[in-house]
Amino acid sequence: MRVQLTSCEKGFTFVEILVTMLIFSIITIAVLNLFDTSMMYLKRGQILTDRQDKARLAMGLIEHELFNAYTAWLPSSSSIAFRARAGILLQQYGDYTTIETVIYQLNGTTLQRAANTIPQSSSLSNPTTFQTVISDVRSLTFTKSGKTIKVDLSVNTPSPGKYFMPYTSLFLSRTVFVRNF
């Protein structure tokens, strides 16, 4: 049994199907490109947020310790050393006479911190074990003026992808009033 098609019952021609597939392919490629770009921006945002959090944490640590410092000196413009009361843990046990010698220094692109807890009557000892506070630091400067110390920290924030500059910089600046000077 053969079915006859009339002129109003025709299906799609091969050319119409090819044109439809071409249009669908162009739309699919555009959507995938948009998705790829949005994922790149999301990754960049996560990297920037993480870097900002680490830089603010480092700056907060420096600011808190400098606020409680007794003496401070600047061996260079990118390092600072100071003496302060030992951490809160020792104070909880009633030890208010122990002094901590703290050094922050920029070693290449890494901000490092070292601290020695020494009795107050001892002479200054040199901390030897440095711990990394934050990496990818572009610059760190300390400026002392009277009872204040200005801390400038600039951190590289690498940007992923081909549409971004290779590095941008996050700049933080704080002026700390050292209450025990």
Q: Say if CB 61 and CB 44 are below 8 A apart.
A: no
pTM above 0.75, yes or no: no
CA distances from 126 to 92, 121, 134, 159 (A): 26, 15, 22, 38
Cα–Cα dist 57/63, whole Å: 10
Q: Say if CB 73 and CB 103 are below 8 A apart.
A: no
Looking at residue 124, what is its pLDDT?
46
Please, how many CA atoms are within 13 Å of residue 15, restricted to the half-sphere of its CB? 0
Pull the structure tokens for residue 56.
């603010």
What residue spans define the domains of the chain?
Answer: 34-177
Looking at residue 142, what is its pLDDT?
92
Looking at residue 22, what is its pLDDT?
96
Looking at residue 123, what is its pLDDT?
46
Cα–Cα dist 116/128, whole Å: 8
Residues in the chain, pLDDT under 70: 1-9, 85-98, 117-128, 158-167, 180-181
Q: Say if CB 170 and CB 55 are below 8 A apart.
A: yes
Rg of the chain in Å (alpha carbons): 31
Looking at residue 120, what is its pLDDT?
47
Phi, psi of 135, deg, nearest 5: -110, 180
Pull the structure tokens for residue 71.
């003496």
Q: What angle do CA 88, 60, 99 make, to 5 degrees?
A: 35
Looking at residue 89, what is its pLDDT?
45
